[in-house]
A and B are shown apart, each in its own frame.
Chain A
Amino acid sequence: MASEHQSALSFFDRQPGTSGGITSWIFSTDHKRIGIMYLWGIMGFFIVGMLLGFLIRLELIAPGRDIMDQQTYNVMFTLHGVIMIFLVVIPSIPAAFGNIFLPIQIGAEDVSFPRLNNFSWWLYLTGALLALVSLFTGNGPPDTGWTFYVPFSSNVTTTNVNVAVIAVFILGFSSILTGLNFVTTLHRLRAPGMTWTRMPLFCWSLYATGWIQILATPVLGITVLLIFAERVLGVGLFDPAKGGDPILYQHLFWLYSHPAVYIMILPAMGVISDVIPVFARRDIFGYKMIAFSSVMIAFAGSLVWAHHMFTSGMSDTAVLVFSFLTFVVAIPSAIKVFNWVSTLYKGSIYTDPPFWYALAFIFLFSVGGLTGLILGAAGTDIHVHDTYFVVGHFHYVIFGGLGFGLFSAMHYWFPKIFGRMYNSRMAKISCVIIFVGFNVLYFPMLIMGMQGMPRRYYDYLPQYAFGHLISTIGSWILIAGLLLMFGNLIRGAFKGKKCGSNPWGGASLEWQIPSPPPHHNFVTEPVVDRGPYDFRGVERDECD
């Protein structure tokens, strides 16, 4: 099959004997093309979610009404949450970079089920379009918050929750099929010599993520279907007037949504585990512990959901058990952080942009993780529950963690995907601006939360005015940095300097093939005889 001529073509080029054009993308079964389509979709929705966040912050710049009324504000934060969680964060690294690089990193030609992979992307598209439909039909966009808590979502609000929850169901299905595909691929398609412990840690993190997607997401599916049934049929399973119990909804919802936090963060940890050794020029410290801790997080993370519900009236025994289990999850996360830092010790460090984002990740994720312990301890949680402290905490974890992991991945694999290099200086400047803006935006939230500012409020007391003002100013800095970063990347994709196949001197398989990768990845099936972080004899290719 793979003639000399064919191997010279990248996956962007039209393949001989095909018609090319848009159908060769949207019906493509090539994991790289599917990944690129996810990437564009995710970036597009990230911009939308970012603008919604910007408007929320603008409304909160001063007490009272500034630019929108209460109902619009409720809609805004709901949409910000739904778009960011279900359309950006959950698919982000796995669906985009996982699709592009997981098969290459294990020496495979594609994922196990290429057509199913294309179907997942169509489900993502359908879910995204339905989410958009929910904005413009019925009685306006949902105003429930992304958690769709009952009884407000099932019995009270008249907004278009029905369409939104169906969109979430379909997006969940897309996520399940991606996870299923990855787990099967990792079991079945590893190249000769690619043992489990020679896999890049990115693959290990996707493996753990895949299992969470498979086992947790169906619970979300049934939960949102139940909301739909409540609204359409009036079954009453969560309606106290009909004998139902709203707290059970919260249990079902978090049964998925807490593990989902690890769907979000694990792939980012995988990226960091790949980036750190490449730029420190050292084998990763504690490979097996990092790989094992991913699986450990996936397991333990499934047992902690009720720590979102300490104030819901659960029994004290349940509160204590879930609080304890929450502390247990901190252990594997800390294992990873310590191992990354140990890898840097006595390394010969190259400070290229992916590394800057990775360092920012470690710092911001640590802040997020430590504030998480304050929330996980039942005693302190009572004080800060449902305050801005929570908002600050999860933005540190999700944006500071997953977001910076995603940016690091973008800068790390960019020359591999496009065969070109962005402006490195500009990438570093935007990293610093984003980092500063991020902390100015979210750190005041932690302080305001400690002082008692409740989350999701449209208006606030004058004593919080200063904190909110600083936070809003931070959002401007952050957005400026993000736009600079995206601009630099997009410009680099078209006009950047051409680069060799291995500009960072990576040792994993994706760096052994041309950039952009050819259609079938490898001309002949690779045989692996060394680890993914064995840099002996690996040189960096210079960009011209």
Chain B
Amino acid sequence: MSAIKDYTGAKLGMWLFLFTEVLLFGGLFLLYAAYLHKFPAEFHLAGKELNVVLGGTNTVVLISSSWFMALAISALQQGRVDHCKKLMLLTLAMAMTFLVIKYFEWSAKIHHGIFPDSPELLARPAGEVVYFGLYYLMTGLHGLHVILGGGLITFAYVLIVRGKVTPQDFVFLENAGLYWHLVDLVWIYLFPLFYLIA
């Protein structure tokens, strides 16, 4: 009577965990709201300095990765395991692309002397210091989640290869997908708040 696989329970647990992730980011969004209210002009000016093309590209990259993830789950449910694995690799490639673009964005800013506690940044108005502080913290935490999500998808891939996640028992992949959609969703909020605020 042990080890009963509870599909609904596993999904419920994952949704509860996603709530905690939303609230983790929620704290930062709250700070963002308070500081935007305090420094609207500075946020406007600082927002102009971010590269909308790169940010927009990343948004497209993440949304399509989410789409591939959803397709991968459907493929597994239909028993097309090889197709599912291809789609998962595509998702992972998109995640890597996102991180590489992010890396170039960050290093360009750091190259210009804009990073937390840098003399260059501290010489600017307080509102811009706060804006870039939030920018690095929020996109940094999000980037960390992209890495975690990628790790989770890789792990799901290994489980599929080993036959632990199968067309009959796919809840792990579904949950990894849910997590990945959350990562995507957070970015969909971050993008306008930082790149399009100007």
**Chain A residues near B137 (CB, 8 Å)?**
226, 229, 235, 237
Interface: B78 (CB within 8 A): no
Stretch at the interface among B4-12, B57-65, B68-76, B184-192: B4-12
Are A237 and B31 in contact (CB-based, < 8 A)? Answer: yes
Contact of B30 among A183, A243, A252 (CB under 8 A): A252
> Is A156 part of the binding interface, using a Cβ–Cβ cutoff of 8 Å?
no
> Are A235 and B12 touching (Cβ within 8 A)?
no
**Interface membership of chain B positions 116-146, coded 1 if the CB is closer than 8 angstroms to chain A and 0 otherwise:** 1100001001110110011011000100000
Looking at the complex, which one of B8, B12, B130 makes contact with A237 (CB distance below 8 Å)? Answer: B130
Chain A 504-535: CB-based contact to B (< 8 A → 1; otherwise 0): 00000000000000001000010000000000
B26 partner, pick from A1, A181, A218, A229, beta carbons under 8 A: A218
Residues of B within 8 A of A233 (CB): 116-117, 136
Q: Kindly name the residue among B2, B21, B28 whose own CB sees the greatest number of chain A CB atoms within 10 A.
A: B2
B148 CB–A CB distance under 8 Å:
no
CB distance from A448 to the nearest CB of B (A): 36
- Do residues A236 and B20 form an inter-chain contact, with CB atoms below 8 A? no
Q: Is A184 an interface residue (CB 8 A)?
A: yes
Q: Is A503 an interface residue (CB 8 A)?
A: no
Interface residues of A in 425-443 (CB under 8 A from B): none
Chain A hits for B35, CB < 8 A = 237, 243, 245
- A219 and B27 in contact, given A226-B137, A234-B117 (Cβ under 8 angstroms): yes
Shortest distance from the beta carbon of B41 to any chain A beta carbon, whole Å: 13
Q: Does A500 contact B (CB under 8 A)?
A: no
Q: Which of B20, B25, B28 contacts A180 (CB 8 A)?
A: B20
- Evaluate contact between B27 and A242: CB separation under 8 angstroms: no
Given contacts A112-B9, A235-B116, A242-B126, contact A2 B20 (CB under 8 A): no
Residues of A within 8 A of B125 (CB): 243
A222 touching B16, Cβ below 8 Å: no
Cα A274 to Cα B141 in complex, Å, equals 43
CB distance from B113 to the nearest CB of A (A): 15
Q: Which residue of A lies closest to B128 (CB)?
A: A243
A188 on the B face (CB < 8 A): yes
B12 neighbours in A (Cβ, 8 Å): 183-184, 187-188
Who on chain A is nearest to B6 by CB?
A: A188
Q: Shortest CB–CB separation between residue B4 and chain A, in angstroms?
A: 8
Chain B residues with CB under 8 Å of A381's CB are: none
Contact (Cβ within 8 A) A242 B122: yes
- Per the bound structure, the CA–CA distance linking A158 and B23 in Å amounts to 30
CB of A522, distance to nearest CB on chain B (Å): 9
Number of A interface residues in the complex (CB < 8 A) = 42
A176 at the interface (CB under 8 A from B): yes
In this assembly, does A270 line the interface, its C-beta being within 8 Å of a C-beta of chain B?
no
Q: B13, A112: Cβ atoms under 8 Å?
A: yes
Whether A218 contacts B117 in the complex (CB less than 8 A), given A184-B9, A242-B126, A243-B126, comes out as no
Query: B1 touches which one: A112, A218, A219, A525 (CB < 8 A)?
Result: A525
A188: chain B residues within 8 A (beta carbon):
6, 8-9, 12
| With A180-B13, A242-B130: A218-B8 Cβ-Cβ less than 8 Å | no
Q: A235-B116, A248-B31 are in contact. Are A222 and B13 (CB under 8 A)?
A: no
Q: How far is the CB of A94 from chain B (nearest CB, A)?
A: 15
Partner of B136, one of A187, A235, A255: A235
Asked if A482 is at the interface (CB within 8 A of a chain B CB), the reply is no
The answer for the CA separation of A221 and B125 in the assembled complex, in Å, is 29
Distance (whole angstroms) from the CB of A535 to the closest CB of chain B: 29
A243-B129, A244-B130 known; A236 vs B117 contact (CB < 8 Å) = yes
Contact B117 A235 (CB under 8 A): yes
Kindly identify which residue among A176, A215, A236 contacts B130, using a CB–CB cutoff of 8 Å: A236
Interface residues of A in 182-236 (CB under 8 A from B): 183-184, 187-189, 214-219, 221-223, 225-226, 229, 233-236
* Per-residue interface assignment for chain A, residues 163 to 182, with 1 indicating a CB less than 8 Å from any chain B CB and 0 otherwise: 00000000000001000110
- Chain A residues with Cβ below 8 Å from B30 are 251-252
Q: Kindly name the residue among B12, B25, B39 whose own CB sees the greatest number of chain A CB atoms within 10 A.
A: B12
A112 to B16, CA, bound (A): 13
Q: Is the CB of A218 within 8 A of B9?
A: no
Tell yes or no: A109 within 8 A of B by CB.
yes
- A 86-115 binary contact with B (CB < 8 Å = 1; else 0): 000000000000000000000001101100
The reply on B86 being an interface residue by CB < 8 A is no
Q: Known: A235-B136, A236-B116. Contact between A222 and B24, CB under 8 A?
A: yes
* Minimum C-beta distance from A315 to chain B (A): 14
Q: Which B residues lie within 8 Å of A214 (CB)?
A: 16, 19-20
Is B17 interfacial (CB-CB < 8 Å)? yes
Give Cα A110–Cα B21 distance, bound, in whole angstroms.
26
Task: Please tell me if B38 contacts chain A, counting CB pairs below 8 Å.
Answer: yes
**Complex partner residue of A215 from B1, B19, B129, CB under 8 angstroms:** B19
Closest Cβ–Cβ distance, residue B42 to chain A (whole Å): 8
Give A2 to B1 CA distance when docked, in angstroms: 8
Q: Note all chain A residues with C-beta closer than 8 A to B26.
A: 218-219, 222
Tell me which residues across on chain A come within 8 A of B21, comparing CB atoms.
Answer: 218
Q: Nearest chain-A residue to B21 (Cβ)?
A: A218
In the bound assembly, the distance between CA atoms of A520 and B1 in angstroms comes to 9
23 A-B contact pairs sorted by A residue (CB < 8 Å): A110-B2, A112-B6, A113-B13, A176-B20, A180-B13, A180-B16, A180-B17, A181-B13, A183-B16, A184-B12, A187-B12, A215-B19, A215-B23, A216-B23, A217-B20, A226-B27, A233-B136, A234-B117, A235-B116, A235-B137, A242-B122, A244-B130, A251-B30
- Which 5 pairs from chain A and chain B are nearest by CB? A243-B126, A234-B117, A222-B27, A188-B9, A218-B24
Known contacts A216-B23, A222-B24, A525-B1, then 5 further A-B pairs from the complex at CB < 8 Å, ordered by chain A residue = A112-B9, A214-B20, A229-B116, A244-B133, A252-B30
Which residue numbers of B lie inside 8 Å of A, CB to CB?
A: 1-2, 6, 8-9, 12-13, 16-17, 19-21, 23-28, 30-31, 34-35, 38-39, 116-117, 122, 125-127, 129-130, 133-134, 136-137, 141
Residues of A within 8 A of B (CB): 1-2, 109-110, 112-113, 116, 176, 180-181, 183-184, 187-189, 214-219, 221-223, 225-226, 229, 233-237, 242-245, 248, 251-252, 255, 520, 525
